[in-house]
Structure 1
């Protein structure tokens, strides 16, 4: 939880041990160490986050308000910093076992222009696998695809060329069976991505979200093989310029990534060449059990994201996107989510951006809603925590 720093705490923090490279060393609410190891300088990235970055000279002590700056490193992928929102609806009634009933709900189209006018440059649009292909390995359903694509096209035209993430929201499952682990085969899984990639191969603003929140996998290495199969299928369909989002395990956990799926996903290759268009897909909520089901936030996740950033930098300067995070319209979330997103923005060379959960077809009573009110005003969480950290 972010705490406000008082004078005595600030004085006491001077006695803390030196912070390692890439660790936090200051910012609003920071009560830990404020000096860096030799060879690193405590650098102000924004009011909420000072970080030990490589630098020459003696270690530097930070204080809130310091004007030391090193600028933001350019992303290795060439992506601009992405800030946006999930537009839920076509995923409604997908259960965590990958089962589905219903028809989905179209996200209100007016929301795209509303958010784009405020600086949003990425929309994540979830969908149920069973809506897109009602049978495994079957042809994409023309009626549903017309609905989905109409939404995608509205999103693409809603501002100055936003990116759109196509998010397969099935938890690595189809009706209870895990992909390549007792459920659908890799061939059945990749059939969907082959067809979608063929439809969108001419638009470089499309991003392919391979799968939402794989969890409770029997074999993480087997899942990584399934991810590689999806990447191969997308490229083979002619979609060679688009970014592909690679999900890990444990609900796409940002915390688990460096020790679970991350080391294996680093080895996924891109038939189009290089790895700059393969972005890791991570999630992290801010409530007490990381479930995204409580209105209050108990952490800013800066410690978790700091570990993730260090892992990615140490392994080829790879990038990840925080495609799900969020909180309730409560003071604890105004503070914590703002600090989290400020950290993401300050580390945009490694963290490509974020999409907050959620707007779209959710009404304004949903516990994590950022859906605009009927009069066009925004939720306080959006105005206080999200909007200040948009690109």
Structure 2
């Protein structure tokens, strides 16, 4: 496991401040320490972010340098998710409102994107869908026509590479047509019915990860939401599925709010399989001024937020989380700051299992957060910030 991010900066023998293990030590615009404490090496992750990465018997570096040839990546601990990196491919969530209502039509993400991105190193796709499309009647059966279309997309992603994982993401904000699950809206049984059916369809494929709900927000009772999560986990396991499950908190699945809001209760959710290795926390964090993901410019790299999250997870059973939504515009500020963020995520494995940026799929290149290729040409944000930090 990586060292606690709250460790105090060490002082070199000559009295000069040095960056701690996993601390930043260089990059364009960096004005802090450029040397590392003994036992870690200042390693260049991209032009904007160099980091003190532990190395056996390695002296502290005095310059920003690339990792030595042949340096191994942290191994995957038994039972943990492997290191993942990739992209959301939206379309089946068009147009789900943040109140959980849905208005057709939807769009099918282009299948060609999966082979394109996988060839560049992507091994994770998050494919959101509207609850109302999957089960047009609340608590009813899955619509076989829609499922066939959706599953064809899932299979296109999986077939693009032998190590590719897919998050099937229920994109309804803990709601159905304006009402919160178990808090004036659908019952827990109606919600669990959907996941029971999906578990029966996808439970035999361990490369499929269940994203049980996108961005719960403004829930009247966090404890009631956590109980809903527990009941859903139980239902999925009762259906025989052993897949990894992504558990979201409240406040739009905020990575910043997680340690003090829903996190302390969610870490107590149990898995009927035993242990908690297959219960992964689902967090989001954007980089614009109001964390909405609606502006082309970025104002933060979120590293301090993610450091706090990592510390919380390590102190609560060495749990894993995945940053399943983040992103920015194709601007210089986002190229730098998103690059910093994703470099930190990559360095914080296994506590942070990986990321999926928003968004490709059925968007076009004019969308403010688009990483949709322009033909075979990648967007600048993808080239400068995302691609260098893929697994």
TM-score, normalising length: structure 2? 0.88
Cα contact 1:26–1:50 (8 A) shared by 2: yes
Cα contact 1:25–1:62 (8 A) shared by 2: no
**Residue 42 of structure 2 aligns with which residue?**
44
Alignment of 1:127-166 (within 5 A): 127-166=129-168
Tell me, in whole angstroms, the C-alpha distance in 1 between the residues paired with 2:101 and 2:68. Answer: 52
Tell me, in whole angstroms, the C-alpha distance in 2 between the residues paired with 1:188 and 1:234. Answer: 13
Alignment length (residue pairs): 372
| 2:112 corresponds to which of 110, 113, 120 | 110
Relative to structure 1, the CA distance from residue 66 to residue 132 in structure 2 (aligned partners, 3 Å threshold; closer, same or farther) is closer
User: Is 2:165 the partner of 1:167?
Assistant: no
- SS of the residue 2:233 aligns to: helix
Cα deviation code 1:263-296 (max 9, x no counterpart):
1111111111211111110001111111000001
Cα deviation code 1:187-227 (max 9, x no counterpart):
11101000001011111111000100011111111111111
- SS of the residue 2:128 aligns to: strand
Cα contact 2:173–2:216 (8 A) shared by 1: yes
Tell me, in whole angstroms, the C-alpha distance in 2 between the residues paired with 1:269 and 1:54. Answer: 35
Unpaired runs of 5+ in structure 2?
1-13
| 1:197 corresponds to which of 196, 199, 203 | 199
Tell me, in whole angstroms, the C-alpha distance in 2 between the residues paired with 1:151 and 1:229. Answer: 28
Tell me, in whole angstroms, the C-alpha distance in 2 between the residues paired with 1:45 and 1:307. Answer: 22
**Residue 384 of structure 1 aligns with which residue?**
384
- SS of the residue 1:364 aligns to: coil
**Residue 178 of structure 2 aligns with which residue?**
176
User: Is 2:339 the partner of 1:338?
Assistant: yes
User: Is 2:367 the partner of 1:369?
Assistant: no
- SS of the residue 1:256 aligns to: coil
Tell me, in whole angstroms, the C-alpha distance in 2 between the residues paired with 1:15 and 1:296. Answer: 39
**Residue 6 of structure 2 aligns with which residue?**
none
The Cα shift of 1:16 comes to 8.5
Cα deviation code 1:32-90 (max 9, x no counterpart):
466889xx855435442425869999x96865338699964434443221011101000
- SS of the residue 2:127 aligns to: strand
Relative to structure 1, the CA distance from residue 16 to residue 197 in structure 2 (aligned partners, 3 Å threshold; closer, same or farther) is farther
**Residue 10 of structure 1 aligns with which residue?**
none
Tell me, in whole angstroms, the C-alpha distance in 1 between the residues paired with 2:220 and 2:15. Answer: 46
Alignment of 1:1-391 (within 5 A): 24-28=23-27, 29-32=29-32, 43-44=41-42, 46-47=44-45, 48-51=49-52, 63-65=63-65, 72-76=73-77, 77-240=79-242, 242-373=243-374, 375-391=375-391
- SS of the residue 1:305 aligns to: helix
Tell me, in whole angstroms, the C-alpha distance in 2 between the residues paired with 1:369 and 1:150. Answer: 23
Relative to structure 1, the CA distance from residue 261 to residue 17 in structure 2 (aligned partners, 3 Å threshold; closer, same or farther) is farther
Cα deviation code 1:87-135 (max 9, x no counterpart):
1000011000001110311111111111111111111000000000111
- SS of the residue 1:78 aligns to: coil
Cα contact 2:246–2:280 (8 A) shared by 1: yes
The Cα shift of 1:31 comes to 3.3
With 250-259 and 70-79 compared, the bigger mean Cα shift is at 70-79
Cα deviation code 1:287-345 (max 9, x no counterpart):
11110000011111111111111111121111110000011011111111111111111
Task: Let me know the Cα RMSD of the aligned residues.
Answer: 2.5
Tell me, in whole angstroms, the C-alpha distance in 2 between the residues paired with 1:225 and 1:24. Answer: 37
Tell me, in whole angstroms, the C-alpha distance in 1 between the residues paired with 2:226 and 2:56. Answer: 36
Cα deviation code 1:332-373 (max 9, x no counterpart):
111111111111111111110111100000011000001111
Relative to structure 1, the CA distance from residue 350 to residue 45 in structure 2 (aligned partners, 3 Å threshold; closer, same or farther) is farther
Tell me, in whole angstroms, the C-alpha distance in 1 between the residues paired with 2:97 and 2:16. Answer: 46
Cα contact 1:84–1:120 (8 A) shared by 2: yes
What stretches of structure 1 move > 6 A for 4+ residues in a row?
A: 14-20, 34-37, 52-57, 66-70
